[in-house]
Structure 1
Amino acid sequence: METSPNDQMMLLEIEKLFKDLLSPLQEREGGPPAYFYRIVGCDNQKELLSRVASFAEKLQSTDNFKIWDTVIPLPSDQKIIERIKGILEPISLKDYNNGALLNVLEGKGYFSLTIDDLSPQTIREAFAIVINLYMVNDQPKNISIAMNFVTKVLLWYTDFGQLCPKNRIKPKVLYWGSPKTHEVYFLILVFLLGGDVIVINTTFNDRFDNVDKQNHFCLPIKLSQEIPLPSFPQRRPLVENSPKNISAIQSPTKAAQRPSNLISKIKTDPAIVVKLQHSDNPLQDILLPLPKRSGYISGQFPILPTLFTRYIGVPVSSDDWKAEYYNDLYNLDRTLQRSGHYLKFIEGVSAPTPVESSLIPEQFAHGSFETREDILEKILQANLLPQLKNSIFSNTLKQSFIDSANLFCDSQSHFTSSIFLNFCLKLVVWINRYLPKLLEGSDPLAKDGEGGILQEQCFKILFYGPIKLHEVYLLDFFHRIGSDVLFIHSDLDGDSTFKNFDNNGTMTQVIRNLNSLPLVLFPQKEQLIRKSTVAYNASREIEEVIYSEDVGLYKPWQFEQYLTQPITLKTTYDELKILWQEAAKIRPEFKVQNHKVYIPNLFAKINGVHEDLREYWQDLKTFAQASNTHLIKAVPFCKVTYSRQELYQADYLFNPQGYLDEDKVMKSQHYKFAYLRTPLQEFLLSKINELLYSNVFLFQIDERMKLKILMTVLTMDDSLIKLIETFDFPQEIPKLIVYDSNKESFSEFDAILIAFLNLVGLDILVFTPTKYNTLEQLIRPNLFDVFQLPLLKYDLDLPELYNIPSPSTHKQGFFSRFFNSNKL
């Protein structure tokens, strides 16, 4: 394919850029003190790769360069890591923005690593620019996220700071691929420190646009086409002056692998055969001796059926299923402790300590490795793994280490030899730390009576809680040497890390229980528990059949953990009087479905009065004498008991999505529902959230109104709370009656409570003898019925209910009406 004139011009421009990057300082007079470019895309792959390979070869002659192939490796020096952690731990998140972090780093000498004779103050300013840019762009939500970023930058800087100017040539950095976000920030820091930086990315995946949005630091050269990132082109192996930055490892399919006699010998020597054992009850079967397991073969070359089970979620086996779950874990742990040869991990696996890291020979810190086989062979030759007398188990140990390490390598998409070396050395440290505890001085395959372990009982490993990827491979190693491994997490998503290890379920068994619980500390004692009798269980089974959602028979408070959905009925005035007395389950449209009770409630406004005023009062009395009815005799009726300051202080109770944070609400000083049963508390808070976005009001629901809604409901009168308390959803519906006879109509707070009670499912009646527009000004009129009686009355006071005569049981005659014409 011929190169177009435009392509040729771009290639010449890139070639000139490469030349400028290699130029000494004295030749840059009048030009920029440092270069920072990125080439995005690829119009001519062959020509670009050829020029990059030539540039990389010339770069090596400068003796102070870095070539990073798809990743900037983190230094593995544990002393440096611990030093940085020790500095960052006392710094609070707010201090990242006010210079305290920079002051601490300056005081600890982190700005004394100079490049091109830069002063510590100049380096401090470069750090300040990068950290401020990160804070503005990323806005970290918590201290851990910010600390992770700063730690990375400091680790990279410590490694990069070892470069020093030689022969008046600036430090050079070539990044091959698309830098990740944190790496983009660090490349900006390198540029600010005076280093020449070039990024070559043949794809259009360019994260600089999210960091350096105005191309203030890095100038782009964008080509018109893209290709998947090929392997880094090089004419000779990279040998950088920084010993810890190892060139990218090549996979066996891309480079010829040098045969390893030692690894080949280990692979062919006899070893224990471990088979994955499946179990329906791993908490019990882990205690089963090996001879009683199907498939077990003893002798000089044993076959061990062992568990590697992910026990996820919580089973429901009794009423106290939560307590029973934690008791099972507690008792299993106690039993395994007594049996010996047992390890329990409940807070993950701690990183190698400085003392453990110091035992690794210096050759691994300063050596150069081309392939994974080089690394594995050097580790085996150095006898870094525990040395055991039994040749079969010793070889099993080595084979398991090789297999787990290769499995880790094969699972990584972007991989370098430095990452592989760090993983292998970490695994070596962990094996030396924990294997002696499992062995406890015994030879694992000695004959009976001579301290043998694996002839009767295998090792036991219990891992509880969150797990990291490297820790998964440690469990894999333990299983390969003949251990039962049990990973336990109470959350149904707790084993997500295993997806990168065993997505197909061929190396582990997964038991996923039905229920999920938030993870808590591993149980330290046995909990009190109640066990159901046979008669009780039989009764429960019968109840489940009789009192189902579909049958229509309901026991008291059967649905107290359900939500309600009001279905406000549209009725005639006569129907209203009839349905008012009916329980919810008798009314039309009542149903229970999908963990929700659909309540056919009533919401009406009665304007005016009857021609016979006594009939009007008698209707009101009949409505008011229904059970669980609360009568409000004047409006406005809601009393605001919170101050303006308290109102605005409640803003923190909402999450970023605009809904209530229920945990924060329950802990706030305004929360007075704590004495209510827990399902009712959760019900009330869910109804507040529903009200916020229900679109029932005619006024705007802005942020201030959201605060009003929350505080009005949280501080409602106890009489209204009692109405809700008595509401057993299928039974009689609690009722609210409001009498409004003057111009002082409902307030916004009244409307909030009425709308809230309507969403709960209560019946609501508003008597307005004046026919004034009252509720219609605040709540959408289509949500309630309006009944118009013949006459209007103004300044009509509500008499005491006991003074209103009850309706006559027989119809009055014509003359009787005249003799009883005195109306109330």
Structure 2
Amino acid sequence: MVQLHPVRVRTWDPEKVGEWLNKPVANHTETKVEDEDITYPQLLGEFIGLPLDEDDYFASIYETMESAGGRLIRLSGKMNKHIEQDRLKALQDLFEMNRKENGLSASRIVAFLDGKGLLPRLKDAGLNRRLRVVMIDVLKSFQEQSGGSTVQSSFRRVATDLVKWTFNHIEPELIKLNLEKGLPGFLWYGDATESEKWFLKLASAFGFHVIVYDPTGEKWFGKMAGEENLHSHSFQVNAESPPPFPEEKPKRVGTVAYRATQEVDRLLHHDDSGLYKPFQFKSYVTHSIRLKTTIDEAFMLAKERAMVRPSFSVERGVVHIPVVFAKVMGIEKDRKRFWDNIHKLTEREDTKLVRSFPFIEERKGNQQFHYRAALDKNGRLDPEKMKKSNWWRYSKLPDGVQTAIGEAIARHVEKPILLPQNGESFEDLQLYAFSQSMTLPDPVIQLIQLFDYPQFVPTLLFYNEEKDGELSRADANAIALIHSFGLDNIIINPQGHQDIERWVDTESFDVHWLDERSFNEPFQEPSAVRKFLGRFL
């Protein structure tokens, strides 16, 4: 009685997946065999995005399948939907009984599937039992994610498809299973339906290797299989829609110089290299990490490139950007030192100085219809839905920048750092954050467009003299969204008054108290000499 114990493979080489799958299972260092218990490494891999050369991309997929020696089976576009009529009738009877019982548990449904001959009956009792246990776990997971009921039409549809594909795709591989070689792998390219995603979850939970090519960068397989179990490799760009998979292996027609350039890019300009081309991550999304700093560190780090700041990283299509978010109360006794720090920032082209408040107009009107239309099935804002809407204000921007802004808005609305006002409910707070995030000022949009994520981080510097208005809640929302995207924010109030604290949770930013309070401290422009020298420094 065979007992399979798949464990996550420790490391992988994205270019040698086929060769790895073709190795006998005993040749892997993680493999342990004790009687009929087999512990072996399982590869769950995800290729995110597309390289610049599509022909080379598809040719490499074909070469991976070829080098696997038949042990990497392409399923996408080839799912066999056939089901015997007697099995279909038995399934219909089972779901009718399920309806009359107001929903059986996943365990009882699998027991009935087994009793009615709706699951394969394998010669090995261990594999037989494992298939049923995994089916129960997968149906339980789907039941929990779909509202806790087994009588919904979606549950019936997915369960029916899982039965069909278990007979059509899993049983044939288990019948001819060679334990010296181990289980084969399934390859999936592009998008997948709900049923197909759950089938891949079933296959991976059983112990099959699964390799997914995800050209649009949606990373859906990680959400199904668990990102902690997944190895991933990211290419330069995310496609708006998956290019059709060629039925024949494309010919590589690149010149020698072109192929050499591609190879240099692969070796030198990968996510972890630290040697990045200009705007290499233009198709990635951003995620800010707030740095807790002293006042001196805040001004010092604001002048540093993102990639040399603590905790900068690039992984799975996301650039994690360490940022400064600081409120300065008062003014330094040493005025020269104080203004030198400020002028070193304002001299830069990627710093926007804001001195008049409010700096953004509050958006009126009820946006609830737009908000609900942009939610995904889990109740979270979907950047792709926002981008396709006629009310989306950022449609002129490059696609990757739009996605990054949409993802920042989704995070900002999901867990707002804004404070609720006057008994405002959490849902009302989310709706307010969504509504006000649709109209970032043009100078801020320009900073975002200029931002090459690993390089210098643009700074929003707010100097609030309280002379011509107050920092409004809409201003605070814009600052919070800018922070979520990954830009630096420094707010200075020379009088030591609260402004952003009225609207934003103070746990979200650092507060620095300086030596003095000044009630008449207009912004000091740099001297003509400093401006002249600044052009050459």
TM-score interval for Structure 1 and Structure 2 normalised by the shorter chain: 0.5 to 0.7
Q: CA deviation at 1:512?
A: 4.2
Cross-structure match for 1:697: 418
Q: Is the 8 A contact 2:382 2:406 kept in 1?
A: no
Q: Which amino acid aligns with 2:370?
A: A
Aligned counterparts of 1:661 and 1:588: Cα–Cα separation in 2: 30
Cross-structure match for 2:165: 499
Q: CA deviation at 1:535?
A: 3.3
SS of the equivalent of 1:592 reads strand
Q: Which amino acid aligns with 1:644?
A: G
C-alpha change, 1:321 and 1:685, in structure 2 (3 Å) is: farther
C-alpha change, 1:677 and 1:496, in structure 2 (3 Å) is: farther
Cross-structure match for 1:567: 289
1:319 corresponds to 2:53: yes
Aligned counterparts of 2:161 and 2:190: Cα–Cα separation in 1: 12
C-alpha change, 1:494 and 1:515, in structure 2 (3 Å) is: farther
Aligned counterparts of 1:506 and 1:605: Cα–Cα separation in 2: 64
Q: Is the 8 A contact 1:549 1:592 kept in 2?
A: yes
Counterparts of residues 270-289 of structure 1 (less than 5 Å): none
C-alpha change, 1:657 and 1:747, in structure 2 (3 Å) is: farther
C-alpha change, 1:535 and 1:511, in structure 2 (3 Å) is: farther
1:745 corresponds to 2:466: no
Cross-structure match for 2:86: 409
The C-alpha deviation readout for 1:775-824, integer Å capped at 9, x for no partner, is 12222222222222222112433244566957999xxxxxxxxxxxxxxx
SS of the equivalent of 1:605 reads strand
SS of the equivalent of 2:466 reads coil
SS of the equivalent of 2:286 reads strand
Aligned with residue 686 of structure 1, among 407, 410, 422: 407
1:552 corresponds to 2:226: no
Q: Is the 8 A contact 1:733 1:763 kept in 2?
A: yes
Aligned with residue 764 of structure 1, among 489, 498, 506: 489
Counterparts of residues 128-139 of structure 1 (less than 5 Å): none
SS of the equivalent of 2:191 reads coil
Cross-structure match for 2:228: none
Q: Which amino acid aligns with 1:506?
A: P
SS of the equivalent of 1:578 reads helix
Q: CA deviation at 1:632?
A: 0.6
Aligned counterparts of 1:317 and 1:689: Cα–Cα separation in 2: 27
Counterparts of residues 320-469 of structure 1 (less than 5 Å): 320=54, 408-409=85-86, 413=90
Q: CA deviation at 1:530?
A: 9.7
Cross-structure match for 1:665: 386
1:513 corresponds to 2:187: yes
Aligned counterparts of 1:749 and 1:408: Cα–Cα separation in 2: 62
User: Whose RCO is larger (CA < 8 A, sep 6+)?
Assistant: 2
Cross-structure match for 2:309: 587
1:735 corresponds to 2:459: yes
Cross-structure match for 1:258: none
C-alpha change, 1:321 and 1:633, in structure 2 (3 Å) is: same
Q: Is the 8 A contact 1:607 1:789 kept in 2?
A: yes
Cross-structure match for 2:523: 798
Q: CA deviation at 1:323?
A: 11
Q: Is the 8 A contact 1:315 1:321 kept in 2?
A: no
Cross-structure match for 2:373: 653
Cross-structure match for 1:721: 445
Q: CA deviation at 1:687?
A: 1.0
Q: Is the 8 A contact 2:190 2:242 kept in 1?
A: no
The C-alpha deviation readout for 1:76-116, integer Å capped at 9, x for no partner, is xxxxxxxxxxxxxxxxxxxxxxxxxxxxxxxxxxxxxxxxx
C-alpha change, 1:315 and 1:513, in structure 2 (3 Å) is: farther
Aligned counterparts of 1:522 and 1:571: Cα–Cα separation in 2: 46
SS of the equivalent of 1:729 reads coil
Q: Is the 8 A contact 2:323 2:488 kept in 1?
A: yes
Q: Which amino acid aligns with 1:319?
A: D
Q: Which amino acid aligns with 1:737?
A: L
Aligned counterparts of 1:522 and 1:570: Cα–Cα separation in 2: 44
SS of the equivalent of 2:307 reads helix
Aligned counterparts of 2:478 and 2:278: Cα–Cα separation in 1: 27
Q: CA deviation at 1:521?
A: 13
1:536 corresponds to 2:261: no
Q: CA deviation at 1:561?
A: 2.8
Q: CA deviation at 1:727?
A: 1.5
Aligned with residue 608 of structure 1, among 330, 342, 350: 330
Q: CA deviation at 1:763?
A: 1.1
1:630 corresponds to 2:352: yes
C-alpha change, 1:573 and 1:566, in structure 2 (3 Å) is: same
Aligned counterparts of 1:625 and 1:807: Cα–Cα separation in 2: 11
C-alpha change, 1:769 and 1:318, in structure 2 (3 Å) is: closer
Aligned counterparts of 2:50 and 2:161: Cα–Cα separation in 1: 20
Please, what is the CA RMSD of the aligned residues?
A: 4.5
The C-alpha deviation readout for 1:410-460, integer Å capped at 9, x for no partner, is 6754688xxxxxxxxxxxxxxxxxxxxxxxxxxxxxxxxxxxxxxxxxxxx
Report how many aligned residue pairs link the two structures. Answer: 345
Q: CA deviation at 1:592?
A: 2.5
C-alpha change, 1:564 and 1:539, in structure 2 (3 Å) is: same
Aligned counterparts of 1:542 and 1:610: Cα–Cα separation in 2: 50
The C-alpha deviation readout for 1:552-572, integer Å capped at 9, x for no partner, is 222222222333332222222
Please identify the structure whose Cα radius of gyration is greater. Answer: 1
Q: Is the 8 A contact 1:320 1:531 kept in 2?
A: no
Q: Is the 8 A contact 1:319 1:530 kept in 2?
A: no
Aligned counterparts of 1:531 and 1:766: Cα–Cα separation in 2: 55
Cross-structure match for 2:206: none
C-alpha change, 1:660 and 1:531, in structure 2 (3 Å) is: farther
Counterparts of residues 192-271 of structure 1 (less than 5 Å): none
Q: Which amino acid aligns with 2:54?
A: D
C-alpha change, 1:314 and 1:494, in structure 2 (3 Å) is: farther
The C-alpha deviation readout for 1:717-759, integer Å capped at 9, x for no partner, is 1111111112211111011001111284322111111111111
The C-alpha deviation readout for 1:202-234, integer Å capped at 9, x for no partner, is xxxxxxxxxxxxxxxxxxxxxxxxxxxxxxxxx
The C-alpha deviation readout for 1:115-156, integer Å capped at 9, x for no partner, is xxxxxxxxxxxxxxxxxxxxxxxxxxxxxxxxxxxxxxxxxx
SS of the equivalent of 2:262 reads helix
Aligned counterparts of 1:770 and 1:807: Cα–Cα separation in 2: 31
C-alpha change, 1:770 and 1:532, in structure 2 (3 Å) is: same
SS of the equivalent of 1:550 reads coil
Unaligned runs of 5+ in 1: 1-279, 281-312, 329-344, 350-403, 417-492, 810-824
Aligned counterparts of 1:786 and 1:728: Cα–Cα separation in 2: 28
Q: Is the 8 A contact 2:350 2:447 kept in 1?
A: yes
SS of the equivalent of 1:714 reads coil
Aligned counterparts of 1:518 and 1:806: Cα–Cα separation in 2: 57
SS of the equivalent of 1:557 reads coil
Q: Is the 8 A contact 1:692 1:709 kept in 2?
A: yes
SS of the equivalent of 1:506 reads helix
Aligned with residue 432 of structure 2, among 708, 713, 721: 708
C-alpha change, 1:709 and 1:413, in structure 2 (3 Å) is: same
Aligned counterparts of 1:317 and 1:559: Cα–Cα separation in 2: 12
Aligned counterparts of 1:522 and 1:543: Cα–Cα separation in 2: 22
C-alpha change, 1:807 and 1:529, in structure 2 (3 Å) is: same
Aligned counterparts of 2:529 and 2:92: Cα–Cα separation in 1: 88
Aligned counterparts of 1:320 and 1:749: Cα–Cα separation in 2: 44
SS of the equivalent of 1:513 reads strand
SS of the equivalent of 1:674 reads coil
